[in-house]
Amino acid sequence: MRSPLRPPAAVGFIGVGNMGRLMAPHLVAAGYRVYAADNYEETLRKFLAAHRGTIALSYNDHGAALDAVITMLPDGNVVREVLLGGGLADRLRPGTIVIDMSSSDPVGTRALGEVLAKRDVHLVDAPVSGGVKRAADASLATMIGGTAEIIERARPLIATMAKQVFLTGPLGSGHAMKALNNLVSAAGLWIAAEALLAGKQFGLAPETMVDVLNASTGRNTSTENKFKQQILSRGFASGFSLGLMAKDLRTAERLAKTTGAFSQLTQLCAKIWGDAAQALGEAEDHTAVVKFLERASGTTLGP
């Protein structure tokens, strides 16, 4: 077994946007040599300027020097395009580990893993949960799928950015778990919003309802961490977009269909969040989905 990837190993970090820009600096602070890339030149420029010692990743110049590649991108299609369409995979040396921390489709992840294996490049899926706040303080939760040996080699890298590490099984299982987690999260937010709107129209104060829910069996992560902080305040700035949530729910729906699981509520959840994303715009924060329900009910939860 090869040695675990510890500093000063060379790491390509692709995707320094909303989450990646907060995760990659922990690698820099730990002593890893970080080569960064992003589809948006201005995003990359800001990241490189803010973190001295990081280098803009050139596939031609640096690909063969990398010990690992981390992707933090919108979906698995973009990950595949970067690795295969962009030619990075052809430049990686045998034994290199690719860690996909994006929220990708688990079926696509397994297919990509088979393609990379033919190049003797190892793929691990390690999507994260916790949002920008936990990305900033390296307390994210991550769900890891892959072979035991490769995961152990990648673990020091991942632990630099995540506090809670869950081994979920073979390749693709991490991405499956992330999609299913977001399904439960999205369903909880939506039904809580429906309850608060019904309560307000009956005469209950939304703030009081949130307090009661959080002291009772109806509480969930949205009632605890999103309603007062993002929705009632009208901040709508959790750091996770409506479009990405809708995408993750479509992934969960496809997973359920692939496995033959009973999924009536899953299908409904994917549809209504998709409708909301289309109506409000995918760039909206996912907590702004409440605006879609407010329009339909003719009332608002905010002031």
Residues taking part in catalysis: 178
d(Cα 276, Cα 282) in Å, to the nearest integer? Answer: 9
15 torsion bin: left (phi>0), alpha (psi -120 to 50), beta (else): left
Q: Produce one character per residue of 93-106: b if its CB has 16 or more CB atoms within 10 Å, e if not.
A: eeebbbbbbbbbbb
| Vertex 280 angle, CA 277 and 285, to 5° | 75
| Vertex 195 angle, CA 189 and 198, to 5° | 140
The dihedral built from the CA positions of residue 9, 27, 161 and 130, taken in this order, carries a sign that is negative
Q: The tokens of 149 are what?
A: 């040996």
Peptide bond into 7 cis (omega under 30): no
Q: Are strands 33-37 and 55-56 parallel, antiparallel or unpaired?
A: parallel
Cα Rg, the chain, nearest whole Å: 20
d(Cα 15, Cα 38) in Å, to the nearest integer? Answer: 5
Dihedral angle over CA of 253, 101, 109, 43, nearest 10: 90
Q: Which residue(s) pair with 145 in the sheet?
A: 125, 169
Q: Which residues contact 139 (CB under 8 A, 6 or more apart)?
A: 130, 162, 163, 164
**Token pair 């605890």 in the structure block, residue:** 224
**Which burial class, exposed, middle or buried, applies to 55 when counting CB atoms under 10 A from its CB (0-12, 13-18, 19+)?**
middle
